[in-house]
């Protein structure tokens, strides 16, 4: 019967090992994934910068979700080089073609005074709160930490902003900015679930902050009880990772488009009308923007607001929830976002349809031209804003 020493020797004979110096040089190469297979309590004490953490006990069930491409170069380490050797053998058996194990592991790495960090980790309370996320290999603790580090700005604490804000807060998005200068009215309560009867007359941003903080105290709610205009839009939007657009008028949508394009921030757009809604993602760096879909605002009599035309109270819950999903996908880099695709929903037919949104080659308000974009407000039935003249 083979001893542990025999098994370890046999395993090491079938894998490639590298020194800490070789690993340090290799880990910064393009496409290389540094894989930490230690236990969570070990990882929390310190790790290589940017390391992907998958404990050895869950490696087989998790690795292909985290690293789907079997050609990805993997630098695997543990505390001393034993578990990483067995992990490297397992990865090779799973079909990964470029795997090395670090001799001496993290202990030798620290002894040699190489760069390491103390990773941000979840508390016991957070692990319990976000347990259903942690069970998803596509999210896991790394993804949940990304959510907690993310900053999302919601334009409006109304029909669309309410469900989007509540689900983003519940998901653990760490910073939620909310801009709205309105007060809670009894007519809002048919659909705006952030608010309640006791808060009628309160500022909407204050009501929203109370609800979201009670739902998840992890979330920092930043309120803006101001009108969004050309004088403040750049300062408010800057620093956020994603913008959730729940506005209901064309001048604001064009203003937000131009500012978000200039800043390179994706916008998750939603709109509702009577029994219908639509959602899309405007990513100025990777796809069409609002001006590509709507080159100029329609006449006011062709675009009545919900206050004028009415809206089914449940409808914004569906549209706003989809906006929350798209926002989380953008933060985590998951799936196929709705960039270049317009998803429409008809609640009476209970049907979804999808349409392509193309880049308009005549649209000059683009991220490539960001330094020349003038962010200004539309007046009346204005055409798209001009760019600044390029320097002579």
Task: Give the tens place of pLDDT for each residue, 10-29.
Answer: 999 999 999 999 999 999 99
Alpha-carbon torsion, ordered 188, 191, 195, 199, to 10 deg: 30
Predicted confidence at residue 379, as pLDDT, reads 66
Which fold would CATH assign to domain 150-372? Rossmann fold (3.40.50)
- CA dist 21 and 309 (Å) reads 68
Answer yes or no: is pLDDT of 384 > 60. Answer: no
**Chain-wide mean pLDDT for the chain?**
92
What's the CATH architecture for 4-119? 3-Layer(aba) Sandwich (3.40)
Q: What is the pLDDT of residues 211-251, one digit of tens each?
A: 999 999 999 999 999 999 999 999 999 999 999 999 988 89
Assess whether pLDDT exceeds 50 at residue 308: yes
Q: Sort 202 into a burial class: Cβ within 10 Å, 0-12 / 13-18 / 19+.
A: middle
Q: What's the rounded Cα separation, in Å, for the pair 39 and 20?
A: 20
Q: What is the pLDDT of residues 242-267, one digit of tens each?
A: 999 999 888 999 999 999 999 999 99
Question: What DSSP assignment string belongs to 229-283?
Answer: -TTTHHHHHTT-SEEEE---SHHHHHHHHHHHHHHT--EEEEEEEBTEEEEEEE-
Q: What is the per-residue pLDDT for 307?
A: 61
Write down the domain spans for the chain. 4-119, 150-372
pTM as predicted: 0.82
Query: In the sheet that 74-77 helps form, which strands lie side by side, from edge to edge?
Result: 16-18, 99-102, 74-77, 33-36, 52-53
Contact 166, 209 (CB under 8 A): no
User: How far, in Å, CA of 77 to CA of 140, rounded?
Assistant: 20
Average pLDDT, integer, range 304-331: 89
Average pLDDT of the segment spanning 184-188: 96
With beta carbons less than 8 A apart as the criterion, state whether 132 and 157 touch: no
pLDDT tens for 39-72 read 989 999 999 999 999 999 999 998 998 899 999 9
Distance between CA 89 and CA 59 in Å, rounded?
12
If pLDDT is split at 50, 70 and 90, which confidence band does 140 have? Answer: confident
DSSP 389: P
């Amino acid at each position: 019967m083979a001893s542990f020493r025999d098994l370890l020797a046999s395993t090491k004979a079938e894998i490639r090992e590298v020194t800490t110096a070789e690993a340090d040089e290799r880990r910064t190469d393009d496409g290389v994934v540094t894989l930490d297979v230690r236990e969570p309590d070990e990882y929390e004490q310190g790790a290589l910068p940017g390391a992907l953490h998958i404990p050895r006990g869950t490696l087989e069930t998790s690795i292909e979700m985290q690293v789907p491409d079997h050609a990805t170069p993997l630098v695997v380490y543990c505390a001393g080089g034993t578990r990483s050797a067995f992990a490297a053998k397992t990865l090779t058996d799973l079909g990964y073609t470029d795997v090395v194990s670090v001799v001496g592991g993290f202990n030798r790495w620290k002894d040699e005074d190489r760069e390491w960090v103390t990773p941000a980790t979840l508390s016991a309370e957070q692990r319990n709160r976000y347990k259903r996320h942690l069970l998803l290999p596509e999210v896991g603790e790394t993804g949940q930490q990304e959510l907690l580090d993310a900053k999302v700005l919601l334009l409006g604490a109304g029909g669309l902003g309410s469900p989007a804000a509540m689900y983003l807060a519940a998901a653990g998005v760490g910073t939620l900015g909310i801009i709205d200068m309105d007060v809670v009215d009894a007519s809002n309560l048919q659909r705006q679930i952030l608010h309640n009867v006791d808060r009628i007359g309160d500022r909407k941003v204050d009501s929203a902050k109370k609800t979201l903080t009670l739902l998840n105290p992890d979330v920092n709610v930043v309120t803006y009880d101001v009108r969004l205009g050309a004088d403040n839009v750049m300062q408010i939007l800057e620093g956020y990772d994603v913008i959730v657009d729940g506005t209901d008028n064309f001048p604001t949508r064009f203003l937000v488009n131009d500012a978000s394009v200039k800043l390179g921030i994706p916008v998750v757009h939603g709109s509702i009308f009577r029994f219908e809604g639509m959602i899309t993602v405007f990513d100025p760096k990777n796809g069409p923007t609002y001006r590509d879909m709507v080159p100029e605002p329609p006449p006011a009599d062709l675009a009545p607001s919900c206050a004028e035309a009415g809206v089914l109270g449940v409808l914004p819950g569906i549209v706003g929830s989809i906006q929350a999903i798209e926002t989380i996908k953008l933060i985590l880099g998951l799936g196929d976002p709705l960039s270049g695709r317009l998803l429409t929903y008809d609640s009476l037919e209970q049907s979804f349809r999808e349409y392509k949104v193309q880049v308009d080659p005549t649209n000059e308000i683009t991220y490539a031209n960001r330094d020349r974009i003038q962010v200004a407000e539309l007046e009346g039935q204005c055409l798209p804003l001009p760019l600044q003249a390029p320097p002579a």
